[in-house]
Structure 1
Amino acid sequence: MSGGSVERVRTALAAAGHADTISAFPDGTRSAVEAAAAVGCDVAQIAKSIVFRAGERPVLVVVSGANRVDMAKVAAALMFHVKRADGAWVREVTGFAIGGVAPLGHLTPPAVVLDEDLFRFDRVWAAAGSPMHVFETTPADLLRLSGGLRADVREAG
């Protein structure tokens, strides 16, 4: 399935006028720590995609790899309640397995929130459809690509 998922991300990047910056890392990029080690960047520069649900609607939160998501802040930013989503539902609605959820190319277009903390970096890396693929971009491009909302959604502390 990952081949098709990666191609879906590649197609979405091209459609948005973004360079194909997808790289493959056979040792895996499933976690922010693994992705940062593979790419050679700080873990905070990994734009991790976490899917929540608001009823049947997917909610994608893109947060710095060094941070955790404050669900109350996400709910306040979107003005609706969100809850955790299980892996089977995430795969069904997004077309991506956990560990490879990209910020674009979803089967069901999600509501998207990008964590304000990402914008302190010039470059970030995000999953590209599989637990072994990432792409390089800027926070501003990520915001444009995802059609997301920029908000402070990281857990304090």
Structure 2
Amino acid sequence: MCGAELKSLPESVQRVVAALQASGHAQLPRMLEDAARTAQQAADALGIVVGQIAKSIIFRRLSDDAAVLVVTSGDRRVDEHKVAALVGPVGRADAAFVKARTGFTIGGVAPVAHVYPPVTLIDRELFRFAEIWAAAGHPHAVFALAPQDLERLTGAPVADVVLAAA
């Protein structure tokens, strides 16, 4: 992307681009025609299976009001009890909390470039895939990466944080 293209992107996507470039990540965000607020919408837009979507789920840690980001495979559901066992008791985060802590709206929460660095956990189920796609700061923006890149970019541990597959 050139300078002019970057300036036309939403500010939240520009933050993600800057973080990716600073870390040497080669894959820059791609803007989709339609919003991809859900993992299924993103998968459909990209022509991939829903499990390849690295969805960002934000919780509120009860002890200190910290944001807890769980990056999970799009075909899995987060188990709050497993998350709490790793980081302490958590509760649901509303849209205002997500926006204030991350700088992103729900449906576009990137795993990087948060306003305040969250406590982050990566779902081990993402490692089933060679390539995954994550939100890039806006419901229309996504970027490609390998699960190992996600681990490197966030510095987060990989953990079992989902409900058992049916």
Tell me which of 33, 39, 42 is aligned to 2:46.
Answer: 39
**Equivalent residue number for residue 72 of structure 2:** 63
Structure 1 residue runs without a partner (length 5+): none
Higher relative contact order (CA 8 A, sep 6+): 1
Matches within 5 A, 1:21-40: 21-40=28-47
Using the alignment, how far apart are the partners of 2:14 and 2:26 within structure 1? 14
Structure 1 runs of 4+ off > 4 angstroms?
A: none
TM-score (norm 1): 0.95
2:133 matches 1:125:
yes
2:50 matches 1:12:
no
**Equivalent residue number for residue 56 of structure 2:** 49
Structure 2 residue runs without a partner (length 5+): 1-8
The AA in structure 2 aligned to 1:52 is: F
TM-score (norm 2): 0.90
- Shift in Å at residue 120 of structure 1? 1.0
- Counting aligned pairs with the same residue, the percent is 52
**Equivalent residue number for residue 3 of structure 2:** none
* 2:99 counterpart SS class: helix
2:151 matches 1:143:
yes
**Equivalent residue number for residue 6 of structure 2:** none
- Shift in Å at residue 40 of structure 1? 1.0
**Equivalent residue number for residue 76 of structure 1:** 85
- Shift in Å at residue 75 of structure 1? 1.4
How far does the alpha carbon of each residue in 1:26-83 deviate from its partner, in whole angstroms, 9 at most, with x for none?
21111100100111110000000011011321100000000110011111123x1111
The AA in structure 2 aligned to 1:32 is: A
Say whether the 8 Å CA contact 1:69–1:154 is kept in structure 2.
yes
Say whether the 8 Å CA contact 2:110–2:134 is kept in structure 1.
yes
| Number of residue equivalences | 155
Q: Which has the larger radius of gyration?
A: 2
Using the alignment, how far apart are the partners of 2:27 and 2:69 within structure 1? 22
Say whether the 8 Å CA contact 1:10–1:20 is kept in structure 2.
no
